Structure 1
Amino acid sequence: MLMYSSGNPTNIENPIKDASVQVDIKTASGRLSLYQTTLCKKLQWDKLNPDVNLDPKGYLDTYNQKDVQLICCEADASTLWLIPNVVQTRFIQSLDWDALMDISFTWVLSRGRPKGKEVVKYERSVDPQDLPKQSDVQQVLNGSINSFRIYNVYSRYFRVTGSGDVRPLELEDNFVSADLVINRANYSWWSFHDINSSDVNGCGGLRGPMAIIVSEETPPEGILGDTLSKFSIWGLYITFVLAVGRFIRLQCSDLRMRIPYENLPSCDRLIAICEDIYAARAEGELGVEEVLYWTLVKIYRSPHMLLEYTKAD
């Protein structure tokens, strides 16, 4: 209760500070990273161009606009495609006999709080019906064509909770589809092209991965803030109300049963008997000690005798 009364549990904004994206392809022979970028802009929702409506169905009307951000990433990867030809050849061959191709998309987001969960990850494997044909992937890797399309790659809307969990919003038309393009010049690199024109307009022409993220507010730093972030309000309730309350209850329960023994007018005679028991034991008079001991027991067993022996002089 002292923490509640002395602390300030008001939540404060906790925006996304950094974002990165990665697209991987996986078969039985292993995994390759196709597209990676760390070049992502973080735009506050309330400062966007009002002429571009990225939320026509009003999904975000119930959220505080200061907690909503638009993340726009560069279409071109920030890393080169440096896979040796022999590795590409083996990977292409694995697509012939492995029917379980998997493509996964990953967002990595960084925030200032909560402590220990500053970096969160959202990873999703594309559904099998939305994957490109394996023959298309093979042709891109061997240079016959330069792109293939993936449908419903990841959720456009999702929120990052105060405890550090990433949860896509359960909405209709909430997925982004894209073309993965390999660029071949002196060097090779991959590009991610969002095929939704409204996403491109909202990001100022950037055609890379985009997302609308609700980053929930979190308690401020400090003892109370860290405790709330780690254990939530329910954890504090269980700890301080139930556990501490139960301890206090145990200490204060059955007080009336202790009144005859703890609230006595004068205990001088009882103390004298206890001192005589100690003296008899010290002198080796065990018979006298036993008589005095049972005398003390009889006094405590009889409320009438206890009252007589503890009367004030």
Structure 2
Amino acid sequence: MLSIILQMYSSGNPTNIANPINDASFQFDIKTAGGRLTLYQTTLCERLGWDDLSANVNIDPQHYLDSYNVNDIQVICCQADASTMWLVPEVVKQQFIKSLNSSKMDIKFSWVLTRDRPKGKETVKYERSVDPSDLPKSTEVEGVLNGSLSSFRIHNICPRTFRVTGSGDVRPFEQEVNDVSADLVLHHRNSEWWSFHDIKPLRSYGCGALSGPMAVIVSEETPQGFLGETLSKFSIWGLYITFVLAVGRFIRLQCSDLRMRIPYENLPSCDRLIAICEDIYAARAEGELGVEEVLYWTLVKIYRSPHMLLEYTNPD
């Protein structure tokens, strides 16, 4: 079945075309029993292609990206300052501080990426909670919220390298060992806003002065055309499973209980065969299992021998 799907794919001759990231945004939330607050959010992110990077930049010293087309690799560099002010009423802030001391804290990050394809999955989101062992102390977060501290640090917030598949899934690299760690800073001036400062200097990644969230994205190519869009939506494995289920269902409907059927179509006369079948059921009903077995094997021998089958179904 898989070979049939692959043959369909190859015969349709869908051409893979680049499917780069057109837009990116990053969000950082903190959640307690008292609710969820968005601390940092930015949509001010630049997208740099492999060719736009300086020759001195080495974003892949372990050579994890060597197997990918350089045209599919982009570096997303975001500004450190949030693109929105932090407008949280004081009473809400105080209630949230109370919940920090009385419940567990959960910190989440999310990347939202937009591409042109596949249709229906142009926007994808990758969200994950920070491991509890890497969370800051609740007293540190409380200190920043009430103004006694200016920042708190979080380690291993998120992976730095992602792969966006042709079917629209976001997956971090399995070899990823260089997670992002950052300082979250709350500015108190005429207005309040958060900043996200990556601890590791990002100049080595080509981001220059942009010290906000950063990611290396491999956006895989997608096939074009009707067949290509279908494969992009379902993936070749999804299409394979669909065919297996559909064809399997059809075969089951057509072949169910075949072992209980005695083929008799297109035979001249089946009276003698029907009489043997009736005798089998009669012997079973009377408990004559020996007679039933003899009659059953007689029927089997008839169907195994074309000569005997013609003899027993001869209308004369």
What TM-score results when the alignment is normalised by the length of structure 2? 0.74
For 1:229, give the aligned amino acid: S
Distance 2:80 2:244 in 1: 52
Equivalent residue for 2:300? Answer: none
Report the CA distance between 1:110 and its aligned residue.
0.7
Report the CA distance between 1:175 and its aligned residue.
0.1
Q: Which structure 2 residues correspond to residues 149-298 of structure 1 after superposition, within 5 A?
A: 149-198=153-202, 202-222=206-226, 224-237=227-240
* Larger radius of gyration between Structure 1 and Structure 2: 1
Instruction: Give yes or no for contact 2:267–2:313 (8 Å, CA) kept in 1.
Output: no
For 2:229, give the aligned amino acid: D
Report the CA distance between 1:174 and its aligned residue.
2.3
Distance 1:36 1:200 in 2: 24
**Alpha-carbon displacement from aligned partner over 1:165-220 (angstroms, at most 9, x marks no partner):** 11111225320000000112111100000010145762021000000011111111
Equivalent residue for 1:124? Answer: 128
For 2:67, give the aligned amino acid: T
For 1:36, give the aligned amino acid: Q
Distance 2:84 2:204 in 1: 22
For 1:232, give the aligned amino acid: S
SS at match of 2:222: coil
Instruction: Give yes or no for contact 2:183–2:197 (8 Å, CA) kept in 1.
Output: yes
Distance 1:144 1:242 in 2: 61
Q: What percent identity do the matched residue pairs reach?
A: 66
Instruction: Give yes or no for contact 2:161–2:176 (8 Å, CA) kept in 1.
Output: no
Q: Which structure 2 residues correspond to residues 16-35 of structure 1 after superposition, within 5 A?
A: 16-35=21-40
Report the CA distance between 1:227 and its aligned residue.
1.5
Task: Answer yes or no: is 1:63 the counterpart of 2:68.
Answer: yes
**Alpha carbons of structure 1 residues 246 and 203: separation in structure 2 relative to 1, 3 Å:** same
SS at match of 1:197: coil
Instruction: Give yes or no for contact 2:14–2:225 (8 Å, CA) kept in 1.
Output: no
**Alpha carbons of structure 1 residues 88 and 10: separation in structure 2 relative to 1, 3 Å:** same
Q: CA RMSD in A?
A: 2.9
Equivalent residue for 2:89? Answer: 84
**Alpha-carbon displacement from aligned partner over 1:280-311 (angstroms, at most 9, x marks no partner):** xxxxxxxxxxxxxxxxxxxxx96687xxxxxx
Hey, which bits of structure 1, 4+ residues long, moved more than 4 A?
A: 1-6, 235-248, 257-261, 301-305
Equivalent residue for 2:13? Answer: 8
What TM-score results when the alignment is normalised by the length of structure 1? 0.74
Count matched residues: 260
Report the CA distance between 1:40 and its aligned residue.
0.6
Structure 1 gaps of 5+ residues are 251-256, 262-300, 306-313
Distance 1:138 1:234 in 2: 48
